Amino acid sequence: MSYSINSAEKKLSIINLFDLEEKFQKSMQQSNHEKEADFILGGAGSEYTLRHNISDFDDWEIVPSVMHGLCEDDGVTTTKIFDIDLKTPIIVSPSAAHGLVHKSAELGTIKGTFNAGSLMTVSTFSNELLKDIHESSPNAPWFYQFSMDQNEKLSDFLLHEAVTQGAKAIVVGVFGASFGRRERDIRNNFDFDPDLPFRQLAAFPDYPKNLDILKVNGRTRDISPKEIAVIKKKTGLPVLIKGIQTGEDAIRAIEFGADGIWISNTGGRQLDGIRSTINALPEIAKAVNKRVPIVFDSGIRRGQQVFKALALGADLIAIGRAPLYGLHFGGHKGVTSVLAQLQVELLNTMLLSGITTIDEIKQNARLVRTNR
């Protein structure tokens, strides 16, 4: 293979994810993968939404409660979704082509995620076959992120393979009928290295060859609400709708059979100039009204932000870029290190706020909106 990338397997010492992100960018540049780093780090347009996904967490301040007789060992972060027990409410979002950052690709990510007591959502655009991902960590729970292709036979092929290989749920991406204008990628004339194929897509006999990134994404299409029931019938699995950004869309998804709502703007990678997910969360949580679980992503860099999203109505918090930073530097051990870092920060925030469990965050934690 001509694509050369790190293969180290080691536990990481992390101060915070902002520092790790900076080190990741420098490392990728030094290994002549600046374009690949931009693909991972960048967002759409001027990256307004990318920035505000992070900074708008500062719109919300925690109101701590004290004198509860707590000690350092009292906090626990266990939770569950669809009867899957998790040691942490922090899971891994779908992201394409993990082979861009480490030789083990998705095989490393799922192992590291499982070792952290979490679960991974595998992207349609994975470098590894679903069969190989599953067999590399056969006890690891995972979801499959499904993008509806214009070719119905290809869509059926992908769903069938996800079910066959043991996916626990289908995550259907709904981000509109076009592809976000990511100016870094346009400027870089970015495309994936031919040594890093999307193997699961390529396993479909009639999949077109030599598609660049724009053409690959251009094949996908938005779904209609009625197709939720079709996907559920074909797979027999719970279906989460990823990309919900309004209360109205959440209600519509649930009415048409969605088993979960995934609040996301893909980390600011689709439509720029929209509100951050943390500021959309209260409206959506009110609309959902605990009927189905809510997964939240876009903007998470600290455990304190995980706490805030849980307090505002999320059930699970998903992260996409940070696991790739960990994978790059330490393989599966690096992924575990990233998830462990956020868990430590979350526990610290919980105990300093007078909270000991995830359910207590959702029931008792207090936030106030600032006027900054």
The full DSSP string for 189-244 is: T----TTS--HHHHTSTTPPSS--HHHHHHTB-PPPTHHHHHHHHHH-S-EEEEEE
Cα–Cα distance measured from residue 161 to residue 169, given in angstroms and rounded to the nearest whole number: 13
**Is 299 assigned a ligand-binding role in the annotation?**
yes
Domains and CATH numbers, the chain: 17-369 (3.20.20.70)
- Reduced to 3 states (helix: H, G, I; strand: E, B; else coil), residue 152 is helix
Answer yes or no: is 369 a known binding residue. Answer: no
Contact 174, 242 (CB under 8 A): yes
Q: Is 297 annotated as a binding residue?
A: yes
Q: Which of 104, 323, 266 is nearest to 196 (CA)?
A: 104
Which tokens hold the place of 292? 């189905």
103 is in an annotated binding site: no
**Would the annotation count 94 as a binding residue?**
yes
Non-local CB neighbours of 135 within 8 Å, separated by 6+ positions: none
According to the annotation, is 320 in a ligand binding site? yes
Q: 182 labelled as ligand-binding?
A: yes
Distances (CA, A) of 164 to 17, 25, 93: 35, 37, 21
The answer to whether 282 is a known ligand-binding residue is no
Residue closest to 219 by CA, chosen among 152, 268, 121, 145: 152
pLDDT tens sequence across 136-171: 999 999 999 998 877 889 899 999 999 999 999 999
Report which secondary-structure segment, H or E, holds 271: none
Q: Which of 331, 354, 364, 342 is nearest to 75 (CA)?
A: 354
CB 268 within 8 A of CB 53: yes
Chain-centre distance for alpha carbon 234 = 24
Pairwise CA distance, residues 125 & 71, whole Å: 45
pLDDT of residue 311: 98
- Which stretches of the chain drop beneath a pLDDT of 50? none
pTM of structure:
0.95
CA distance 120 to 360: 25
- Residue 7 is labelled as binding a ligand: no
108 is in an annotated binding site: no
- Is 285 annotated in a binding site? The answer is no
**Secondary structure of residue 298 in the 3-state scheme:** coil
Q: Is 321 annotated as a binding residue?
A: yes
User: Is 304 known as a binding-site position?
Assistant: no
Query: Closest by alpha carbon to 244, among 265, 229, 224, 222?
Result: 265
Q: So what's the pLDDT on residue 372?
A: 63
- Which residue type is seen at 266? T
Q: Report the first-to-last Cα separation within the chain, whole angstroms.
A: 51
For residues 148 and 64, give the distance between their C-alpha atoms in angstroms, rounded to a whole number.
44
Instruction: Report residue 281 CA to chain centroid gap.
Output: 16
Check whether 30 is labelled as a binding-site residue.
no
Which amino acid does the sequence have at 83? D
Who contacts 224 (Cβ-Cβ below 8 Å, separation ≥6)?
A: none
Residue 169 pairs in a beta bridge with 143
- Confidence at residue 178, expressed as pLDDT on a 0 to 100 scale: 72
